[in-house]
Structure 1
Amino acid sequence: MMQYTSHYESPLGVMLMAADDEGMTGLWFEGQKYFARLLAPAHKEMDTPILREAKRWLDVYFSGRKPDFQVPIHMNGTAFQKEVWDILLTIPYGQTMTYGAIAGRIAEKHGLSRMSSQAVGGAVGHNEISILIPCHRVVGTNGSLTGYAGGIDKKIQLLKLEKADMSHFFIPKKGTAL
Structure 2
Amino acid sequence: MSTTGEDWDVIVGAPGFALGVRLAADTVAGIEFLPAGLTRSARCALGREVTTQLTAYLRDPLTPFDLPLAAAGTAHQRAVWQLMRTIAPGCTLTYGEVAAQIGSSPRAVGGACGANPFPIVIPCHRIVAAGGSLGGFAHSTAGFLPGIKRWLLAHEAAAGGFRLSANGPALSSRRPDARLS
Same fold (TM over 0.5): yes
Q: Which residue of 2 aligns with 1:169?
A: 169
CA distance in 2, matches of 1:131, 1:12: 15
* Counterpart code for 1:128: P
Q: Give CA-to-partner distance per residue, 1:101-159, whole Å, 9 cap, x none.
A: 1111111xxxxxxx211011101111111111101111012111011126211111111
User: Which residue among 11, 19, 25 is the counterpart of 1:21?
Assistant: 25
Answer 1 or 2: higher relative contact order, Cα 8 Å, separation at least 6: 1
Q: Which residue of 1 aligns with 2:112?
A: 123
Specify the SS of the correspondent of 2:135: coil
CA distance in 1, matches of 2:77, 2:65: 24
User: Which residue among 94, 97, 101 is the counterpart of 1:105?
Assistant: 101
Structure 2 CA distance for partners of 1:75 and 1:142, relative to 1, 3 Å: farther
CA distance in 1, matches of 2:47, 2:107: 32
Q: Which ranges in structure 2 are unaligned for 5 or more consecutive residues? A: 1-7, 36-40, 139-143, 172-181
| Map 1:75-90 → 2, pairs under 5 A | 75-90=71-86
Deviation at 1:29, TM superposition (A): 0.9
CA contact (8 A) 1:75 1:82 kept: no
Runs of 4+ in structure 1 deviating by more than 3 angstroms, as ranges, are none
Output the TM-score relative to the length of structure 1. 0.75
Q: Percent identity?
A: 33
Q: Which residue of 1 aligns with 2:11?
A: 7
Structure 2 CA distance for partners of 1:120 and 1:65, relative to 1, 3 Å: closer
Q: Which ranges in structure 1 are unaligned for 5 or more consecutive residues? A: 32-44, 108-114, 172-178
* Counterpart code for 1:14: A
CA contact (8 A) 1:60 1:66 kept: no
Deviation at 1:91, TM superposition (A): 0.8
Number of aligned residue pairs: 149
User: Which residue among 107, 111, 134 is the counterpart of 2:123?
Assistant: 134
Specify the SS of the correspondent of 1:156: helix
CA distance in 1, matches of 2:116, 2:65: 21
Q: Give CA-to-partner distance per residue, 1:41-72, whole Å, 9 cap, x none.
A: xxxx9633222111111111111342145222
Output the TM-score relative to the length of structure 2. 0.73
* Counterpart code for 2:18: V
CA distance in 2, matches of 1:68, 1:85: 16
User: Which residue among 34, 44, 47 is the counterpart of 1:48?
Assistant: 44
